[in-house]
Amino acid sequence: TDIQKGGYEHFMLKEIHEEPDVVKKTIDSLMQNNLLDLLNTMPNLKQYDQIHIIACGSAMYAGMIAKSLIESRARIHVDCICASEYRYANPIYTGNTLAIFISQSGETADTIAALQLAKANDVATLAIVNVIGSTIARDADHVIYTKAGPEICVATTKAYCTQVAVLSLLACYLSYVHGHMQDDEVMQLSKEIKTLPKLMQQLIEKDYSAFAKKIYQHNDVFFIGRGLDYSLSMEGSLKLKEISYIHSEAYAAGELKHGTISLIEEGTPVIALASDEDLYEKTISNIKEVKARGAYVLLIISDDLQIAHDGYDDILRIPKTDKLIQAILGVIPLQLLAYEIARLRGCEIDQPRNLAKSVTVE
Ligand code: G6P
């Protein structure tokens, strides 16, 4: 396995380093020249007026990103639900519902059952899957493959990135076919999408160990953010819990004061995400609330936004892109931070206790 790890200490680190390449492959498979290619490479999904996104774990958190992108840009109602709930929820379908299933393995039992439920109700189904020929890929009406390649580490990193890439392109496609994205934006965004692998690489090369050292001995960590940053917080928090065994919570930044802020003590780490230019000022005021209670704040903010030096303890800048693709960058520091923290704690990073790569029983 040392050879398979390609010189990296863990598969997780190797797989994070593969992210620029696999995201590029995934994007290239759908878009050679510009976003208009999606009109040919995506299944025809124009007719649907309601979308259900169903998945488990990180795949569901990728779905949360898609929900906010599709609702805000394509103006289609989206529900994003974990498969174990969906399958028993007696979901409500309109005559034009599309059900999207996201799964790395394509074999997750709850997601398969949810797919069968949608099919039994004659609902159109689209699978976004990594493993070719897997059950979910075979059973759905349409499939779009993520091109992450085999993922060994139990905690997903590169597969999640490729899921977010496909879902971002899907949001672009739906915005365009519903008349909410004009041709000039299509061209501008197409160019930006091509720069993603390079920007991802820059983020992967940064050193996160100094931040990890300030966090790894704590028992509780909070992630806060609004909008897209909230969805990203959930994945960041899950990654940390999975591999470092530190308890953490992701909170919508504005909701903190309605209860959870009582848990903030002197030194409690709060990882605050503020990449959304429309909401960051609101998040900054929530950061002040936790800092006033003694929190250590690591602020992750896009490089075009200004903030006063007393508004944080440490700062990590990420490149600014269009909101439609920003999450693909934003997750990288969260993955590497979780990795560095788990490493400092001496955890079995590639095989966390109690977890399986693919859960094929209910
Ligand atoms: C397991 C894994 C998670 C994963 C989830 C969904 O619980 O430990 O990392 O996100 O299953 O897996 P899938 O293969 O459907 O994406």
- pLDDT of 45-69, one tens digit each? 999 999 999 999 999 999 999 999 9
Q: Report pLDDT digits (tens) over 265-308.
A: 999 999 999 998 889 889 999 999 999 999 999 999 999 888 88
236 lines ligand 1 (CB under 6 A): no
Percent of the chain with pLDDT over 90: 89
Q: Report pLDDT digits (tens) over 1-60.
A: 667 898 999 999 999 999 999 999 999 999 999 999 999 999 999 999 999 999 999 999
Q: Report pLDDT digits (tens) over 68-111.
A: 999 999 999 999 999 999 999 999 999 999 999 999 999 999 99
User: Which pLDDT does position 330 carry in this prediction?
Assistant: 96
User: Which pLDDT does position 225 carry in this prediction?
Assistant: 96
If DSSP codes are grouped into helix, strand and coil, which group holds residue 358? coil
Question: What is the C-alpha end-to-end distance of the chain, expressed in Å?
Answer: 30
Identify the band that residue 361 occupies on the pLDDT scale cut at 50, 70 and 90. confident
Residue located nearest, by CA, to atom 5 of ligand 1: 57
pTM: 0.96
Mutate to test the pocket of ligand 1, among 54, 64, 100, 105 (most ligand atoms within 8 A of CB): 105
Torsional sign, CA 146, 148, 151, 154: negative
Active site residue 213: no
Q: Report pLDDT digits (tens) over 185-235.
A: 999 999 999 999 999 999 999 999 999 999 999 999 999 999 999 999 999
Mutate to test the pocket of ligand 1, among 104, 145, 164 (most ligand atoms within 8 A of CB): 104
- On average, the pLDDT of the chain sits at 95
Residue 341 reports pLDDT greater than 90: yes
Mutate to test the pocket of ligand 1, among 54, 56, 238 (most ligand atoms within 8 A of CB): 56
Token readout for 203 is 């983020």
Residues in contact with 114: Cβ distance below 8 Å, sequence separation at least 6, in sequence order: 54, 83, 86, 87, 99, 101
User: Which pLDDT does position 354 carry in this prediction?
Assistant: 87
Instruction: Please give the full DSSP string across 67-99, using - where no structure is assigned.
Output: HHHIIIII--EEEEEEHHHHTTS-----TTEEE
Detail the DSSP E strand segments found in the chain. 50-55, 77-82, 97-103, 124-129, 142-145, 220-225, 247-252, 269-274, 296-302, 314-318
- Cβ–Cβ < 8 Å for 252, 230: yes
Torsional sign, CA 110, 75, 26, 192: negative
User: Which pLDDT does position 276 carry in this prediction?
Assistant: 87
> C-alpha dihedral over 75, 170, 157, 154, to 10 degrees?
100
> Helix 323-344 vs helix 183-205: angle between axes, to the nearest 10 degrees?
10
User: Which pLDDT does position 290 carry in this prediction?
Assistant: 93
Identify the band that residue 147 occupies on the pLDDT scale cut at 50, 70 and 90. very high
104 lines ligand 1 (CB under 6 A): yes
The Cα 280–Cα 291 span in angstroms is 16
Q: Report pLDDT digits (tens) over 243-266.
A: 999 999 999 999 988 888 888 999
Residue 309 reports pLDDT greater than 90: no
User: Which pLDDT does position 115 carry in this prediction?
Assistant: 98
Which residue's entry shows tokens 């696999």? 22
154 lines ligand 1 (CB under 6 A): yes
User: Which pLDDT does position 263 carry in this prediction?
Assistant: 87
359 lines ligand 1 (CB under 6 A): yes
Identify the band that residue 167 occupies on the pLDDT scale cut at 50, 70 and 90. very high
127 lines ligand 1 (CB under 6 A): no
